[in-house]
Chains A and B, each alone.
Chain A
Amino acid sequence: MSAVADLLLALLILVGLYMVSTSRLHACVRASALQGILLGLLPIALRWANGIVPLDLPVVTLAAGAIAIKAIAIPRLLVRSIREAGVRREVEPMVSLHGSILGAAVLIGLAFWLGERMVLPFPVGSKLLVPAAISNVLLGFLIVVARRKAITQVVGYLALENGVFVFGLALARQQPILVELSVLLDVLVGVFVMGIAIHHISRTFDHLDTDALASLRE
């Protein structure tokens, strides 16, 4: 049944859109956690759509790993750094939120257009897979570029990585589990490093505005 996989991928795009449009930092982090859960369920749904037995050990490991890291560990880390660094609870967009939503709609349209051009040589279980992957990558870029705070940039990076994860599910046919698990670990390490960097930024500058990094100090 590809309906479940289609639905998960559509929800993934929708949550990405919500991440761009919300003005609250916590909602942004929670949306990222929700994307983690959807990504955990996706490999199982894709196997079901391809007509393979949906549950076996490697897939369950991947699902559990994705949910544990993307939906639990990383959001907790982010919420903790929001609390400890005393960040204001609003995202500070450089482009207005209306502008971001319209930009996001254009990017998602672009992703669908690219998805139509980019036909994979083998069936991947859902037609929406490539558009969903590309649109999450583009929305992640948008969040990284158009938001001022370090935390939102981490969230944007996570959205981008989620897109790459979806794409990996389509491409890595032979040893997807190994590749994806190593990617998951990489992301966790990356977010740790960013968390430490965020603490340093907030200790040095008393706030998390990355604009301050653009000017030199003595």
Chain B
Amino acid sequence: MSALSGLAVQVVLLTVLPPLLPGLIGRVKSWMAGRSGPSLLQPYRDLFRLLHKGAVYSRTVTWVFVAGPAVSLAATFLAGLLLPLASSRAPLAFSGDLILFVALMGLGRFLMMAAALDTGSSFEGMAASREAAFSALAEPALLLVLTTLAVASGELSLSGILGGLGSLPAVTPARLLAAGALGAVLLAENARIPIDDPATHLELTMVHEGMILDHSGPDLAAIEYAAAMKLFVTSALLAAVIAPGLAARPPAFAAGALVVAVVVGLVESATARLRLPRVKQFLVGASALGAVALAAALFARGTP
């Protein structure tokens, strides 16, 4: 596949597929609860509807409020371009891009929190503070996991890592532990159930939903779209870590991400949300898991 068509396939995959994942999770949860559930295409319809509405802005907000959704969507899209979805070398791949991947995730989140604080609403401030606490604990775990994979494969770019993992044995302790920690990070990053309940209607318990209470119309659409894209990007990363043969095969990659979404739906159906202090424990545990994975990877490399 030439570079240009690879880029085209990647962009199409990244823009078209993401809203399917929340739909799939919703469907799995409905099935588990014995309901038939909304259509798989419902998130697409929601996005379409929101795009055709007007936005309401409070008199107190500044440009930060509008920048939040836009930057978060752009940052997530850029992070998606770092993954080798359609060709063995991602469109934006360079040595050390795994740091940029984590930084882009952080940038999107930072501006979302700034936009939430910009409204001056107490609920949104509380939600932003929780988001800050959780992401401060989830970020080291993500960095540790990516470092582990970099050590295990001897590469510094995500494309190289996911390509290099393919030549390693499928089940090594380091990779298993890294996949576990990455799964925990995925749940935290995407505000899924043991960390945050996306379906809650009580403002006091909201985290991600709380931050977007004041957003409406196209802004809200951008946020929902960015959230779906983030879910897609992190699911694809997890799928590729577990089964590295997926790299550079777009249909297999998409299928892997969908399987991860189904598993997330099953986890959401089977577990209850954790109490707030327990969330921190869960995320510190994920970081500890990442640290152990790194130790195992360094050890496996050190002794020939």
Q: Give A residues with C-beta under 8 Å from B.
A: 3, 6-7, 9-10, 13-14, 17, 21, 97-98, 101-102, 104-105, 108-109, 112-113, 115-116, 119, 127-128, 131
Residue contact B281 to A109, C-beta cutoff 8 Å: no
Contact A105 to B288, CB < 8 A, known contacts A116-B299, A116-B302 = yes
Residue contact B173 to A102, C-beta cutoff 8 Å: no
Contact A10 to B303, CB < 8 A, known contacts A21-B285, A101-B281, A101-B285 = no
Contact of B288 among A6, A101, A112 (CB under 8 A): A101
Q: Which residues of B have CB within 8 Å of A115?
A: 299
- Does B284 have its Cβ within 8 Å of any Cβ on chain A? yes
Q: Which residues of A have CB within 8 Å of B169?
A: 3
Closest to A119 in B: B303
Least Cβ–Cβ distance between A92 and chain B, in angstroms:
16
Q: Which residues of A have CB within 8 Å of B295?
A: 108-109, 112-113, 131
Contact A112 to B298, CB < 8 A, known contacts A3-B171, A14-B177, A17-B292 = yes
Closest to A17 in B: B288
The proximity string for B residues 262-304 relative to A, scoring 1 for CB distances below 8 Å and 0 otherwise, is 0000000000000000001100110111011001101110110
Residue contact B287 to A105, C-beta cutoff 8 Å: yes
Residue contact A127 to B299, C-beta cutoff 8 Å: yes
Consensus secondary structure, chain B interface: helix
Give Cα distance in the complex from A13 to B280, angstroms.
21
Residue contact B302 to A108, C-beta cutoff 8 Å: no
Residue contact B171 to A112, C-beta cutoff 8 Å: no
Q: Which residues of B have CB within 8 Å of A116?
A: 299, 302-303
Q: Which residues of B have CB within 8 Å of A14?
A: 177, 289, 292
Residue contact A7 to B171, C-beta cutoff 8 Å: yes
New contact pairs (9) apart from A101-B284, A101-B288, CB-CB < 8 Å: A6-B171, A17-B292, A21-B281, A21-B285, A21-B288, A102-B284, A104-B288, A108-B291, A116-B303
The proximity string for B residues 158-184 relative to A, scoring 1 for CB distances below 8 Å and 0 otherwise, is 000000000001011100110000000
The 8 closest A-B pairs by CB, nearest first: A10-B173, A105-B288, A112-B295, A105-B291, A112-B299, A109-B295, A101-B288, A98-B284
Residue contact A98 to B173, C-beta cutoff 8 Å: no
Consensus secondary structure, chain A interface: helix
Instruction: Name the interface residues of B133-169: CB closer than 8 Å to any CB of A.
Output: 169
Q: Which residues of A have CB within 8 Å of B291?
A: 105, 108-109
Closest to B297 in A: A112
Closest to A97 in B: B281
Give Cα distance in the complex from A102 to B288, angstroms.
6
Residue contact A127 to B177, C-beta cutoff 8 Å: no
Least Cβ–Cβ distance between A178 and chain B, in angstroms:
30
Residue contact A98 to B177, C-beta cutoff 8 Å: no
Give Cα distance in the complex from A131 to B296, angstroms.
9
Give Cα distance in the complex from A21 to B299, angstroms.
24
Residue contact B288 to A131, C-beta cutoff 8 Å: no
Give Cα distance in the complex from A4 to B124, angstroms.
49
Q: Which residues of A have CB within 8 Å of B292?
A: 13-14, 17, 105, 108-109
Least Cβ–Cβ distance between A183 and chain B, in angstroms:
26
Least Cβ–Cβ distance between B4 and chain A, in angstroms:
42
Q: Which of B287, B295, B296 has the most CB of A within 10 A?
A: B295
Give Cα distance in the complex from A102 to B284, angstroms.
7
Least Cβ–Cβ distance between A24 and chain B, in angstroms:
12
Give Cα distance in the complex from A109 to B281, angstroms.
19
Give Cα distance in the complex from A108 to B177, angstroms.
13
Least Cβ–Cβ distance between B28 and chain A, in angstroms:
27
Q: Which residues of B have CB within 8 Å of A9?
A: 173
